[in-house]
């Protein structure tokens, strides 16, 4: 299997996503910016950028700007959409704290299959259409969770330590 077709590690996906996000905010992506965005050492960025360049996902020259190739932009876009769908599901549907939802989405985006990601995105679209027709399924679910938590707190036996 060539480097071109080899699947990326979670870490390299994070670098690709960071380059995409930085370029979408109107900023150019430089090693320093990527290191700050990911909160990693600049030396880690250099190694990752070399690997992404070998896979023809970015254009990179040391001390220069980093840009995505067309293939890199497509792949990064898929990663970002997957992340956003997971974060939305965790936060908006499950009612998880936004910071927890963001961190969890960052971990989960690398673990789920493309099929699951596609289904999740379809489910979120479905929920949005249900909301437009007057049924707010996420809000109903969050209310159900609160009621279940209240009931379970009332029936918990005290722990004996």
Q: How far apart are CA 56 and CA 73, in angstroms?
A: 11
Per-residue pLDDT band at 134 (split at 50, 70, 90): confident
Per-residue pLDDT band at 133 (split at 50, 70, 90): confident
Burial of 146 per CB tally in 10 Å (0-12, 13-18, 19+): exposed
pLDDT tens digits, residue range 9-36? 999 999 999 999 999 987 779 999 999 9
Q: What is the pLDDT, as a whole number, of residue 148?
A: 81
Angle between helices 10-24 and 31-38 (to 10 degrees): 110
pLDDT tens digits, residue range 52-68? 999 999 999 888 899 99
Residue with tokens 């769908």: 85
In angstroms, how far is CA 114 from the centroid of its own chain? 13
Phi, psi at residue 16, to the nearest 5°?
A: -60, -45
Q: What is the pLDDT, as a whole number, of residue 7?
A: 83
Q: What is the pLDDT, as a whole number, of residue 157?
A: 54
Q: How far apart are CA 13 and CA 69, in angstroms?
A: 14
**Segment 64-75 mean pLDDT:** 95
Domain chopping of the chain, boundaries: 10-74
CATH class belonging to 10-74: mainly alpha
The residue ranking higher by pLDDT, 100 or 154, is 100
pTM given for the model: 0.78
Give the list of residues 6+ apart from residue 81 with CB closer than 8 angstroms, or none. Answer: 117, 121
């Amino acid at each position: 299997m060539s480097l071109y077709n080899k699947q990326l590690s979670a870490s390299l996906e994070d670098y690709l996503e960071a380059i995409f996000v930085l370029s979408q905010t109107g900023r150019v992506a430089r090693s320093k910016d990527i290191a700050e965005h990911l909160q990693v050492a600049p030396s880690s960025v250099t190694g990752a950028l070399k690997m992404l360049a070998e896979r023809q996902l970015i254009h990179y020259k040391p001390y220069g700007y980093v840009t995505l190739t067309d293939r890199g932009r497509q792949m990064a876009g898929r990663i970002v959409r997957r992340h956003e769908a997971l974060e939305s599901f965790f936060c908006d549907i499950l009612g998880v704290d936004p910071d927890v939802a963001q961190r969890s989405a960052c971990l989960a985006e690398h673990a789920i299959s493309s099929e699951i990601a596609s289904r999740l995105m379809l489910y979120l679209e479905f929920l949005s259409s249900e909301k437009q027709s007057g049924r707010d399924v996420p809000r109903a679910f969050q209310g159900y969770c609160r009621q279940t938590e209240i009931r379970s707190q009332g029936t918990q036996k005290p722990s004996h330590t």
